[in-house]
Structure 1
């Protein structure tokens, strides 16, 4: 059971659930935007990698051509290939930079989503689950006389100010917290009904 039967309580629950859903969607969108923005930083790194690869490839090709020059071709080829190695290092640096930016974008966006959403869920979800368990248990108890007696006891065990308020709002003007407790101990059907219905109403459930 996830929603109360009382219209007012159910409306508040729906509003709360909707607010949590909107909060989650909002931070999902923020995290996605942040991920895209950080990924833009990988553009220069990719340009460096591309330039390095082209530089290395061009010098390697030039070295192959220069190797055909008589007498000095081998030395020219070796020299150009050494310089081409610098291009490879530049390309590797660009590749590593792009990988680092991607990792930063992923980790940052996940953290940006989990922190605010996790905080709200940690406050909201336990309360909703607790109410759901209590409501399902109360519905089962309300189906039997012994169960209603337990519901009445739960109502009596509420804070004293709540029990006093219940006594003031009872049909009989002379009802007091003490008389409610006495009626419960004596198994008075009317008192048990008053207390059991009060517990059901507290949870937002129908009393009949």
Structure 2
């Protein structure tokens, strides 16, 4: 498998693009983790509401249980105190809703902060790298085949070269028709150069 070009300039560009992809992925992961941590700090008020609601409910329930033993007014007083207990329950529920909302926000924010850069790389960088690796690997295999591989590379060069270049090099097409070894080697070199490979193994 051929991962990088033989030509120095193209090799440098590929290495820089790979380093950029690694940097973007790492930075996005760090940023998402940091954002998740910071947003999760916003759940503190919700946790406070849950604790306050639980404490309020416990206090009113305890008072209601004690008031129930009082003669005459005990039952009515206990009922009133249980109403306060319901307020503590609602307070706890409000805190739980806030904690859940903050947790969801932190999770989705982290997903977006990681997902968008990675999606960008999957759409732009990865297809280019995969295409290069496939073409360069095939080019290396053909280069190793000797004359047979040169013929195929020369034919590919005739198909892929711009028409003005072929028209300006009429002797090349004549040499192709006459099976001139030097012309075939030159054409194969054109194709290997286009793939970022050197003409020699």
TM-score, normalised by the number of residues in structure 2: 0.89
Match of 1:204 among 191, 196, 199: 196
Give 1:149 deviation, angstroms.
1.1
Structure 2 unmatched ranges of 5 or more: none
More displaced 10-residue stretch of structure 1: 11-20 or 70-79 = 70-79
Match of 1:158 in 2: 161
What SS does the corresponding residue of 2:198 show, helix, strand or coil? Answer: coil
Match of 2:184 in 1: 192
What SS does the corresponding residue of 1:205 show, helix, strand or coil? Answer: coil
How far apart, CA to CA, are the structure 2 residues paired with 1:178 and 1:132?
Answer: 32
Tell whether 2:15 aligns with 1:14.
yes
More displaced 10-residue stretch of structure 1: 150-159 or 94-103 = 150-159
What SS does the corresponding residue of 2:124 show, helix, strand or coil? Answer: helix
How far apart, CA to CA, are the structure 2 residues paired with 1:190 and 1:85?
Answer: 94
Structure 1 unmatched ranges of 5 or more: 168-175
What is the count of residue pairs matched by the alignment? 197
Alignment of 1:46-125 (within 5 A): 46-125=47-126
How far apart, CA to CA, are the structure 1 residues paired with 2:144 and 2:26?
Answer: 40
Q: What's the RMSD between the two structures over aligned residues?
A: 1.8
Give 1:57 deviation, angstroms.
0.9
What SS does the corresponding residue of 1:40 show, helix, strand or coil? Answer: helix
How far apart, CA to CA, are the structure 2 residues paired with 1:131 and 1:185?
Answer: 30
